[in-house]
Amino acid sequence: MFSPIQIFLDRHNLDGFLFVGDSICDADMYYLSHFLAGDRFAALVQEMTTLLVSSMEMGRAEKESIADKCLSTSQYKIREKLKRSGNWEEAYAWVLADFLRDHNIKRLGVPFRFPVGLYQHLIQDFEIIVLESPFYRIREVKTEEELSAIADTQRACERAMRQAIHLIGSCEPRGELLYRDDMPLTSEKVRSAIDVSLLEDGCETMDTIIAGGLQAADPHARGTGPLAANAPIVIDIFPRSKSKRYFADMTRTVLRGEASLEVKEIYEAVCLAQAMGLQAVRSGVCGKEVHSRVAEVFRDQGYPETEGQGFTHSTGHGVGLDVHEKPSLSEVGETLEVNHVVTVEPGLYYPDIGGVRMEDLVVVKKNGLENLTHFERKLVV
């Protein structure tokens, strides 16, 4: 039986598929190699996977990677080529060309993000076809090991969320702001508490959202400055395990003080929409159908989408080695399969009120889902 990669290569009549980059930023390179490196290396996918790394990384690559073979740029005389050309990029391109010839490459596939400078060099000697990475699709369905890694990251995410909500809940509303120890509580202070919690759990995160008051009307506003009393605070945490590299993602919206009737009704509408969205998730259902169901709930509750406010984003997205990957729960969502991992995160946003969002992380199953999020929903804390 042919592997998905061999089927992909045969379908496009390719002798191989080449990645060049680092595996910290490029999730596909980490997925196929499990070699974590901040410096550039090459990965050639054929029937076997071969890494081309610097001599400095050779020992580590042989020990840590799951590639079938590891080769060093020194084996292709990179220093001699550098002396001859006087240009590092040109020397590296010559090394890549020799490496590809050694592997009988004539027709080569590369991903859309392939470095254009190297492309210009290699196109002189090889037929190059630019395609979507085959691993982008293969990565959608998670193995049991991957599901375990995501669940572990989610537990760390929940511990950080608990710290954040406890910090907000320990504040005293005074006028329009929240105070703790006679100082206004800020988005930055809550974000720092989250960062510390995640670091203690071996995770990292960037751009955690702590958006209170009117700032939360923008779904992706990070939030800055003092947090408002009596107003929703959107907390969106999406950490990654530093060792296993898998993300998690969750959002809760809380309020310290008195919630207005309008805010309570919005919160209840979001919770209902999320419940209906979760109920709709199962293998064989299209992500577009889940999104349509959530949007219908909002319309039925009296919250139709209008320009710039209401339900302004998709219902969810895949999560794995990237925090946003396929499949999506959106107007162009794909059919869900067993062991897809997706978020369900409806929200409502209004410039004169702020925003409310609720997000759980779930695994798609044949007749429903497994919710990886074990965290309460509570508006007033």
For the chain, residues with pLDDT lower than 70 are 1-2
Element (H, E) at 178: strand 177-180
Whole-angstrom distance, CA of residue 33 vs CA of residue 40: 13
Q: What is the length of the chain?
A: 381
The predicted pLDDT at position 220 comes to 87
Q: What are 309-361's pLDDT values in tens digits?
A: 999 999 999 999 999 999 999 999 999 999 999 999 999 999 999 999 999 99
What is the helix (H) or strand (E) element at residue 190, kind and residue range? Answer: helix 187-200
Written as six digits, the tokens of 40 are: 């550039």
For residue 111, report the phi and psi dihedrals to the nearest 5 degrees: -75, 165
Instruction: Report which DSSP code applies to 142.
Output: P
Q: Which domains does the chain have, with CATH numbers?
A: 4-138 (3.40.350.10), 144-371 (3.90.230.10)
Strands, E assignment, 267-320? 316-318
Distance of CA 289 to the CA centre of its chain: 22
Confidence (pLDDT) at 136: 87
- Condensed to tens digits (0 to 9), the pLDDT of residues 157-177 reads 999 999 999 999 999 999 999
Phi, psi of 346, rounded to the nearest 5 degrees? -70, 155
> pTM to 2 decimals?
0.94
Pairing of strands 107-111, 16-21: parallel
> In the prediction, which pLDDT does 3 show?
86
Helix extents (H) in 281-364: 287-300
**b/e sequence 12-36, b meaning 16+ C-beta within 10 Å:** eebbbbbbbbebeebbbbbbbbebb
Torsion-angle region of 170 (φ positive above 0: left; ψ -120 to 50: alpha; else: beta): alpha
